Chain A
Amino acid sequence: MAVITKERFTELVLQYERLVYTVCFQLVREPAAAEDLTQETFLSAYIHRESMPEGYERQWLSRIAANKAKDHLQSAWNRRTVLPGEEELARGLAPPAEEAVLRRSGEADILRAIRELKEPYRQVCRLCLLEEQSPEEAALALGRPVKTVYTQLSRGKKLLREALERSGRHGIP
């Protein structure tokens, strides 16, 4: 890896600021947030500049920008969907409603609901719920990060619950 001097890094900022801002904006759709995330992206890039692959700066910076946008959107999504106090339940003290619905549902219903799931949830749910693979094994099979598989499995179960409830045969107590 080449040594990135401050001068070289400043050149990179000049060269790629618009690209990074565009990636951030297209994902978060808020100009002010996209500006903050652009700065966060370059801040992370500077801190980890030694791992920057030479010749692939564009992809490397775009990946960091996508990660920053993901964290921002994830945080916004959690704020929207997790009510105060609900977080504690989700950590495992009580079985989530998704688990209860899945336990009560027939295998045929679950199979059908999983087949009808959209990506990126269908493959994760198929592997983890039908083939009983662990999220780690599913992550390996799908080439996705383990953390992402956990997130997708959690959201996939929620989608399954909604689908099973819509079918009219399974309600939440």
Chain B
Amino acid sequence: MVFREDGHLSDRALAALAQNEDRFDQLERLEIAEHLAFCDECLQRYTLALEGGNLLVPERSCQKTLWARIRSRALRLAVSRYATAAAAVTLALTVLWGGGGVQISRPVLPEDRPSISRQLTGLTGEISDSLRQTVSGLSDFFDGFRPSQFIEGGNHS
């Protein structure tokens, strides 16, 4: 049996798994993976069982390509954030200046109130500051990936 009556993985199943025995079908392996994904107790038992055995060596190590993928993923995340910020600014400007195609009657402003153009100037200033901060943040972000700081590859310990 793969699971004990109490719902945890059986000793035999864990031993078979750790000793790399190919005795589980696809559904059983899925059930085991689901259980290990949340059960601290069985994960601890499994990692302890692995300590005593021979760990497998991948044919292709991920060390050489991992940093490239991390950079690529980070770039995608940053671009996505930048695109979202840019879209928000474009939408805001469209609504403010274009009126989105809707005619809005402008109320008569009393003399002592700031004009709409002054309010818009203030708003665009805030948007510019926000954009500047985003771009500055992006620059700092990409500074972290300068080639001089890369640590490429490595040997198996």
Do A and B assemble together? yes
Query: Given A7-B151, A43-B70, A70-B33, is A35 in contact with B58 using a C-beta cutoff of 8 Å?
Result: yes
Q: Choose from A7, A18, A31, A76 the contact partner of B59 (Cβ within 8 Å).
A: A31
Task: Give the residues in chain B near A23, CB-CB below 8 Å.
Answer: 46, 50
Task: Give the residues in chain A near B3, CB-CB below 8 Å.
Answer: 118-120
Q: Choose from B4, B18, B37, B61 the contact partner of A26 (Cβ within 8 Å).
A: B18
Query: Given A46-B70, A120-B3, is A27 in contact with B29 using a C-beta cutoff of 8 Å?
Result: yes
How many A-B contacts at CB < 8 Å in the complex?
135
Task: Give the residues in chain A near B88, CB-CB below 8 Å.
Answer: none
Task: Give the residues in chain B near A6, CB-CB below 8 Å.
Answer: 149, 151
**CB nearest to B38 among chain A residues:** A145
Query: Given A18-B156, A19-B55, is A26 in contact with B17 using a C-beta cutoff of 8 Å?
Result: yes
Give the total of A residues in contact with B, Cβ under 8 Å. 50
Contact with B along A51-84 (1 / 0, CB 8 A): 0000000110011001101100110110010000
Complex Cα distance A68/B34, Å? 10
Contact (Cβ within 8 A) A67 B37: yes
Complex Cα distance A14/B62, Å? 10
